[in-house]
Amino acid sequence: MVAVGYNDGSIVERTSLSTVEPELLVPQIADYLRSTQNSLGPIEALGVGAFGPMVVDRNAINYGSLLQTNKPGWSDFDLASALRSAIGLSPNIVTDVAAAGIAEATLGALSGTELGIYLTVGTGIGGAIICQGKPLPALLHLEIGHIALQRQSADAAPSTCRFHPNCAEGLAAGPAIMARFGQSLSHFPPGSAEHGLIADYLGQLCAKLVLTLSPQRIVLGGGVGKTPGLIAAAHGEMLHHLGGYTPEAVASDQFICAPNLGQDTGIVGSLCLAEPGRPAPAFVIRGA
């Protein structure tokens, strides 16, 4: 998704582009922005949300570079330099999940919080810690999806993560659900064993984040996160795993909630990365 708008998150124009190899995608983005400038006027800042793993430390010599990824052609690609060369603007780059977190902190479910967490559960599990509206500075980016969980005793399904046998992503992301059940979680009603298993794993993950970071709210997005009843069930499992060792606010039924901005979270957050008051393009590059 590519859009032009302002850093208050307002979108003037947008289009969708497929995530092909970077040598093909970057020129398409540049062509779109050039055509947009002809009708809307100069664009002065560039915000980007991209899949990882990626270097997000702005002081690093390879800031904005992808690391080893299973996306064809993207491993070791210097995205920041390619965009600077093609568009003529230095990009402000964060991960796609961090962009979504910024959007929710600015305009959505994390607004008014000093410290919140945005989780996305879909083809993978990603997360961002948002402090005072911005992602916490980090060496790379967070790998919340690879936090280890305790398997249920009857769960012998192989992890779909090639690195870890018991991480959240390998046990509870969309591909793991398809591998173990043969269909998406939305096919199973709340209260079913299948629904309960995934709720337990996501509840464990949230409990670990509460104990580690003590956030004021957790936003749970992504395709799996839309499953009816899942957020409430995961909240209940989180409280079970915390065993009462929590502040009262964590028990609120709004402590874990859905994103307010829906499918626009990533692109709105990328616009919010632009310099104040300046017309800006933004885009989110998602994995295939």
Per run of 10 residues, the mean pLDDT along the chain (length 288 residues) is 87 91 95 86 88 89 90 93 94 93 96 97 95 87 93 96 95 97 97 98 98 97 96 98 92 96 91 70 64
Distances (CA, A) of 62 to 69, 78, 134, 139, 278: 16, 7, 21, 11, 26
- pTM score of the predicted model: 0.92
Tokens 């979504």 appear where?
Answer: 100
The predicted structure's pLDDT at residue 276? 57
Give ∠ CA 107-220-201 in degrees, rounded to 5.
Answer: 165
**Buried b / exposed e along 190-226 (16+ C-beta atoms within 10 A):** eeeeebbbbbbbbbbbbbbbbeeeebbbbbbbbbbbb
Tokens 């991960």 appear where?
Answer: 95
The predicted structure's pLDDT at residue 278? 57
The predicted structure's pLDDT at residue 233? 98
| CB neighbours of residue 65 within 10 Å | 20
| Helix (H) or strand (E) segment spanning residue 104 | helix 96-107
**Amino acid symbol at 27:** P
Which among 30, 217, 32, 265 is positioned nearest to 117, based on CA atoms? 217
| CB neighbours of residue 32 within 10 Å | 19
Length of the chain, please?
A: 288
Which domains can be identified in the chain, with CATH numbers?
A: 2-98+266-285 (3.30.420.40), 144-259 (3.30.420.40)
The predicted structure's pLDDT at residue 281? 67
**Is residue 3 classed as helix, strand or coil in its secondary structure?**
strand
Which among 220, 278, 254 is positioned nearest to 12, based on CA atoms? 278
Q: Is 162 exposed, middle or buried (0-12, 13-18, 19+ CB in 10 A)?
A: exposed
The predicted structure's pLDDT at residue 288? 45
